[in-house]
Amino acid sequence: MAKFYSSSAGIFILLSSLIGLNVEAAQEPSIKLLDDQFSEQYSTNVPVSGRVLAGIAINSDILPGLSIFIPHTNDNEQICMRVLSRDGTYSSLNQYQVPNNLKEGFQSVEYPSEFMDVISSFSESDLAVLAYSGQCKDNPVNELYLSARGEPKNSDKVTIFVSSGRSEVFLRIPNENSTTDMIRCKRIQQGKRTGYDTQCHIGLSKLLTGKNEISLIRRKSGRMLPSVKFSILYSRSIS
């Protein structure tokens, strides 16, 4: 009888380790950190950057882990990814290396955070991810990638998170008629807004394949603040 138990336990351990290996293999992130050291902060003593653009995301189910939509890759391409919570308590800034010949689509990103529980507790509008081509020290950011938390939904909504300093925010986006459309953004009313305070929603169908040159216009007490120009890299294969 004892022999039966020990052999069953052995089979169980072997099966478990095999399943474990399979899961690990399935969860292996496609885009890896450039450095071994992962840089993040979580504190109620909020350090806040003055960056206007806080993040761009496509609607997704909230799962542990982050992914970025890669429409094309260049050899030895590097991506910088900033993550910031609405209340400003959590932030991270890390440099990633995109492997050559990576296929087009949403690719999971290595994110060995100590605060995964905290990140998972943030709702869709409580965490902004800004991923852009180039070095983290580059300023201003230019070519932005769409990001998602977990699996992207079959959704038609892209959200741009903005730290506007409580100004009125508008987006000027190109359309198929070679003119532009103006979209008014929405101020977040609930909770603390130290990290960012505004959300701009764009229909995914409004984005054109390739580079979408967008202007972010801010107006405060009757005066125009400097506009922020950026482009979203997009491909129709996402939808």
Of 164-203, which residues contact other proteins (CB under 8 A)? 164-168, 170, 182, 184, 186-187, 189-195, 197
CB of 154 to other proteins, least distance (A): 25
**Residue nearer to other proteins on the CB measure, 166 or 236:** 166
Among 25, 50, 101, 205, binds other proteins (CB under 8 A): 50
Query: Would you say 86 or 149 has its CB closer to other proteins?
Result: 86
DSSP category for residue 3: H
Q: How far, in Å, CA of 161 to CA of 93, rounded?
A: 16
Closer by beta carbon to other proteins, 115 or else 170: 170
> Which amino acid appears at position 42 of this protein?
Y
Buried b (16+ CB within 10 A) or exposed e, 35-46: eeeeebeeeeee
CA 130 to CA 136: how far, in whole Å? 11
For residue 182, what are the β-bridge partners? 172
Q: Give the pairing type, strands 105-109 and 180-184.
A: unpaired
Total of residues contacting other proteins (CB under 8 A)? 32
Count of other CB atoms within 10 angstroms of residue 115: 15
Cβ closest to other proteins, residue 107 vs residue 159: 159
Q: What is the CA radius of gyration of the chain?
A: 20
Stretch that binds other proteins, among 11-19, 23-31, 126-134, 158-166 (CB under 8 A): 158-166
Which spans of this chain sit near other proteins (rule: CB under 8 A)? 44-46, 48-50, 88, 163-168, 170, 182, 184, 186-187, 189-195, 197, 217, 219-222, 224
